[in-house]
Structure formats: structure tokens, C-alpha cells
Structure 1
Amino acid sequence: MAEETKTIEVKQEAPLAEQQTERIRDRRVYTPRTDIYETSNELVLVVDLPGADEKNVDVVLEKNVLTINAMPTFERPEGFTLAYAEYGEGDFKRSFALSDEVDREHIEAKVKNGVLYLRLPKAGAAKPTKIDVKAG
């Protein structure tokens, strides 16, 4: 019996940032590494944004999409020339689609030492509730 071969076509879409925006800055854009933690009451995103502080980080929530933009500035010591670099300089951008489980009115953002901490509390309906079981 002959084996049947099927061809599957994979359609690759451009990243969200490329679909909706045009860059006007002549810098690379990196996708920051992010850890996501979940508790019974909230989601916590820990986003690495080296060189960023509260002045150059923007967090925007629009149409269920949470977008993080950071445009850090890098200062070099005066009188020195860069001989070797372990990482490239550039901007950061990352987007997350949020479900209805997130309470959009109480999202908190804090940046410290190049790390952004986002606290996304769960909406009342999304929080787990304990159901008492009674004897019969």
C-alpha cells in the first residue's frame, strides 16, 4: 500500500510591532525577556529592561493588549572608547494579549534597576472561591 503524503503550508505572520507601527528611530528593537508568575489573586510580570528607568518606560493598555515600550539611554564614561560589548544597545518592545480575567483598573507598574514589575490583579469573577461542602 502506498503512503499518502500531505503538504502543510505554514503561514508566518509578522510580529505585532511590525504589523502596526513604523519605526522612526534608527536603533534595534529587542524583545525583553519576561517571567510571568501567577497567584490566586494576581499575575506578576517581571520584565528585563537593562538601562531603563521610570522616565523612559511606557506601559499602555489598549483594546486588551498591554504594550511595554522602553527607550533606555546608555552613558559611556567620558574619555573612554568602547573596546568590547557583550550586548547591543537598543529599544525594547513587547505586547501581551489580556483576557477578561485581569482587572484593568488596578494594574500597577514599577521599575527598579532595569527591571519592570507589573502587577495585574485578577477580576473578581476570575479569583478562585472556596465552596463549602456540607454533609448530607
Structure 2
Amino acid sequence: MAQEITTQDTQDLAAPNGETKRRAVTFMPAVDIFERGETTVIVADMPGVAPDDVDVTLDRQILTLRGKVKPHAPEGYSRLASEYRVGDYVRVFTLSDEIDQNKINAELKNGVLRLELPRSAETQPKKISVKAA
């Protein structure tokens, strides 16, 4: 489950019909980080985020994940109660200089963002042979 970052960072967002507004909060998405060979993989939960509403940026060594959730209300219905909290997602990581920044791959499927961060060839461990003297 995502952790709420702040409620002070709320913003008024117009509903699709333009009539009502909702308060949006910002959540920090839950992530799993693991390695597969020479690649680090980050998996972030961003339910309700469409592929066009994901923004992954890399500025120097700072990787920022942002996801925006568009408000949804079924056409012709008026909301009577709302317990499900809708908000946007933000998560920031500092990458090591071992990551090949030109080969980062990102994919969003079913509300799960998956990033593959391969290590550059120059920073991969090298075997040094030892000769008998």
C-alpha cells in the first residue's frame, strides 16, 4: 500500500465534467527493488495511473517517478460516499554512477511500473588473474 507523503500538498482538481472538485493528495508508492544479473529492477505500485500519465525523469543521478491519477466518476451518477482515497504518486531515488543511464527501460502494466537499470560495462566487476611468482 502506498504511504501518504503529505496532505498539505493537496490541490484542487476539476472533475471530468468540470462541475465538482476533489482534493488530491500525494502518495509515495510502495516499491520492491531486486537484482537480476547485472541489472537492478525497481517495481512500483501505482494503481489507477494510465501509461500516458506516468513521468519518469533522470536528472544527473536523481531518478524521479511520478504518476497522475485522473478522477473517475461514472457518467450519470452522483457520488453519495467515498472511502477510496485518490491521489498522485511521487518517488525519488539517487542512482549510483554504476547505472548505464542510456539503457534504462520503463514499462507500466496493470498499475505496476517496472524499471530496469542495467550497470554500465565499465563498472562491472572484472576478474584479475593472479600469476605465481
TM-score by length of 1: 0.72
Change (3 A) 1:59 1:82: farther
In structure 1, give the amino acid aligned to 2:79: T
Shift of 1:127: 2.4
CA distance in 2, matches of 1:106, 1:46: 17
Query: Could you say what secondary structure the match of 2:65 adopts?
Result: strand
Structure number, greater radius of gyration: 1
2:99, 2:118 within 8 Å by CA — same for their partners in 1?
yes
1:56-102 CA-to-partner distances (Å, cap 9, x unmatched) read: 000000021000111111423332535352x4111110100011110
State which of 117, 122, 126 in structure 1 corresponds to 2:123. 126
Higher strand fraction (1 or 2): 2
Per mean C-alpha deviation after superposition, the further-off stretch among 125-134 and 25-34 is: 125-134
State which of 74, 77, 99 in structure 2 corresponds to 1:77. 74
Q: CA RMSD in A?
A: 2.6
Give unpaired runs (5+ residues) of structure 2: 13-23
Give unpaired runs (5+ residues) of structure 1: 1-16
State which of 69, 90, 112 in structure 2 corresponds to 1:115. 112
State which of 69, 89, 95 in structure 2 corresponds to 1:92. 89
Query: Could you say what secondary structure the match of 1:56 adopts?
Result: strand
CA distance in 1, matches of 2:58, 2:11: 22
1:99-126 CA-to-partner distances (Å, cap 9, x unmatched) read: 1110000001100011000011111133
Identity of aligned residues (%): 40
Change (3 A) 1:126 1:81: same
TM-score by length of 2: 0.73
Q: Which has the higher contact order (CA 8 A, sep 6+)?
A: 1
Structure 1 counterpart of 2:50 = 53
Name the count of aligned residue pairs.
Answer: 115
State which of 26, 30, 35 in structure 1 corresponds to 2:27. 30
